[in-house]
Amino acid sequence: MKQQTLRDCWAKEKGAINAWCSIPSAVTAEMMSMNDFDSITIDMQHGLVDYQAALNMLQVISGSGKTPMVRVPWNEPGIIMKSLDAGALGIICPMINTPEDAIDFVGATRYAPEGHRSSGPTRALMVHGANYHDEANDKIISLAMIETVEALENVEKIAATEGLTGIYIGPSDLSISMGFKPGLDRVEPEMINAINKIYDACKNNNIKVGIHCLSPSYLKEKLSNGYDLATLASDVRIYAEGLSNKIKEARS
C-alpha cells in the first residue's frame, strides 16, 4: 500500500510531525504536502472542510506520497467509511469517552470479521493498489481522541481496545472539561498530570500516542519525551501568524 510515510517513521522508532489542514483548499493542502511533514490531516470537524473539498485535498496529497489522514466530525460510521473510501489512510475521531465508543470507532475502520466497515473503497482502490482490501485492516490508522474528564477516567480501558492504533490528545477540549480556558501547549500542573496519565496508558498498552501542539518548542519537547505523533499548529494559525508578522514588519 502506498503513502506509508507515517508508518515508515514509526518503523524507525521516530516521532512523526503531522500537518493540519483546516482551510478547504487543494492549493493550501498541496503547499503543506510539499513540506517536511510525515503525515497530513484534513480537519472535517472544526476545519472549514466538507466532503468534496476533503476529496480534492486527498487527491493533491497523493502526489506527495505523504500519509493522508482525516479528523472526522464525529464518531459516526458513515463519514468514517466514506473518508477511508476516498483514500484517507488514517482517521482521528473526536470525543471517544468510553470503551464502547472506542470499539464502535475501530469497528468502522476495519472490514469483517474484525469490524463492520462496508466494502466499496472507490478511490482508495485506485490509489492504494489492487490489494487494498487485504491490506486495509493492518494498514489503516485509527486514533481516538481523549479530550474529556470522562475519557480520562476511562483511558486505560480505551487504550486496551483491540485494533486501536493509538490515542490523540486534544488539549483544548480536555482543558475545558477540567475547568480551564481552551488552548494548546498546557503548562498547568493538573493538565500536565492528565496528559501524562494518557501517555502512560498508551505506553502500558503498546499503542501510539499523539498530541496537538501550537509551538515548535512544545512539539519538540513532546517528541523528545517519546510521543509518536505531534501536530504543528494548523494551516490557519501558520498563515495568520505569518501574515501578521509580515504586515507588522512592513508597518514598522
Beta bridge partners of 159: none
**Residue with grid cell 481523549, as numbered in its chain:** 146
Structure-block grid coordinates of residue 70: 482525516
Active site residues: 46
d(CA 188, CA 48): 30
H helix or E strand, kind and range, residue 28? helix 26-33
* Burial class (CB within 10 angstroms; exposed 0-12, middle 13-18, buried 19+) of 249: exposed
Torsion of CA 111, 74, 40, 26, to 10 degrees: 110
d(CA 145, CA 210): 9
Task: Give CA–CA dist 156/207, Å, rounded.
Answer: 11
Q: Kindly give, in sequence order, each residue whose CB lies less than 8 Å from that of residue 187, ignoring residues fewer than 6 positions away.
A: none
What is the residue type of 157? K
Q: What 3-state class would DSSP assign to 69?
A: strand
What is the C-alpha to C-alpha distance for residues 81 and 41, in angstroms, rounded to an integer?
16
Q: What does the radius of gyration of the chain's CA atoms come to, in whole angstroms?
A: 17
Phi, psi of 2 (to 5 degrees): -80, 175
